[in-house]
Amino acid sequence: MINFTVGPVQSSKAVRKIGAEQVPYFRTQEFSDVMLENERLIKEFANASDDSKVVFLTGSGTASMEATVMNTLSKEDKVLIVNGGSFGQRFVDICQIHEIPHDIIKLEAGKALKQKHLEKYENAGITAFLVNVHETSTGVHYDMELISEFCKRNNIFLIVDAISSFLADNFEMSKWNVDVMITGSQKALACPPGISIILLSQRAVDRVNDSKVKTLYFNLKSALENAKRGQTPFTPAVGILLQINQRLKEIEQSGGQVSEQEKIEKQARDFRDRIKDFPFEIVSESLSNAVTPLRALTASAYDIFLILKDEYGIWVTPNGGELREKVFRVGHIGELTVDDNTKLIEAFEDLKARNII
Ligand SMILES: *Cc1c(COP(=O)(O)O)cnc(C)c1O
């Protein structure tokens, strides 16, 4: 099996080996040291300032999206949400459930965010901004410089879901004045699913500490208090946190976030250069290195996904909803090589020879 999905993705050998071992007890200095090292490396790879803090939450990415909204926003806020697909819609749903007042910038599938979309919200009393920097459902990577300048100008609290973008695209937490960055274990971190990560600026920590939210498991104030000594309030997914530690150290040893990003970019560029002769069209106006979203021009996208999986042992990512028959996505994150791309291209050639595409 070769996995080109956008998560869970393929893990390195050393990360997989940890998954086969006994899970240790965790209220120890040894485990605290691992957690503090995880915090240091996440901050470093997100270009965050020294005073920022990291929470490791046991739960998939959505748990951290919801916890962030619950602990940093309230009914007093006026939130602006970029909704360009199913992950943007998730922020809308979370704000609705928690009764956070919000406005929505709705974008068509594949469309980038532009200055013109933001204009009517200048000096309009917006207090917080929610965006999925890479809207993974359609493969659109938003312009963070544009968003950052808008938020700086209007003194807006900026929350960024970078779950599928962290490590695949550059992220400048401090320079862009981002208050919260969210990521997860199963995307470019290339570990099993189960841990999500919230990186908070000092301004975000202050909001958490002032929050009156009623929740036990999602209480970030108590998570932050525990994190000071490298611990969590409840039993975390200990094994995955050890795998994350292995993976972060692998990245550090091979040159850090910059070289990891270059590796993923090279993998993406190789693939994009080699699909020109196939009846596919790249859907997105603005791409992340993490994934290539393709519109299938001559066949059902969902059928292509099924045939590749069942007859070739190759997994690409299908789309749901109204894009199900039209779009599939090829991921470039996780333990993949250019040779793996070759196998996928050969499978496409075969589908062409069989008149399937
Ligand atoms: C994968 C992903 C998530 C998280 O989804 P979970 O299934 O909860 O892990 C959230 N936002 C984006 C942009 C994603 O790509």
13-254 CATH fold: Aspartate Aminotransferase; domain 2 (3.40.640)
Domain ranges of the chain: 13-254, 256-354
Q: CB of 61 closer than 6 A to ligand 1?
A: yes
Residue 105: which residues within 8 A CB-CB, separation 6 or more? Answer: 80, 81, 82, 83, 113, 117, 118
Ligand 1 pocket, mutate which of 5, 65, 82, 87 (most atoms under 8 A from CB): 87
Q: Which amino acid is at 158?
A: L
The answer to the question of whether 207 is labelled as a binding residue is no
pTM: 0.98
Q: CB of 60 closer than 6 A to ligand 1?
A: yes
Predicted local confidence at residue 347, as pLDDT? 98
Ligand 1 pocket, mutate which of 91, 134, 142, 163 (most atoms under 8 A from CB): 163
Q: Which atom of ligand 1 is nearest to the CA of 196?
A: 9
Q: CB of 7 closer than 6 A to ligand 1?
A: yes
User: Homologous superfamily of 256-354 in CATH?
Assistant: Aspartate Aminotransferase, domain 1 (3.90.1150.10)
pLDDT along the chain (357 residues), means of 10: 97 98 98 98 98 98 98 98 98 98 97 98 98 97 98 98 98 98 98 98 98 98 98 98 98 97 98 97 97 98 98 97 96 98 98 97
Decide if 13-254 and 256-354 have a common fold. Answer: no
Predicted local confidence at residue 84, as pLDDT? 97
Q: CB of 163 closer than 6 A to ligand 1?
A: yes
How far is ligand 1, taken at its centre, from the CA of residue 340, in Å?
A: 24
Q: CB of 136 closer than 6 A to ligand 1?
A: yes
Predicted local confidence at residue 312, as pLDDT? 98
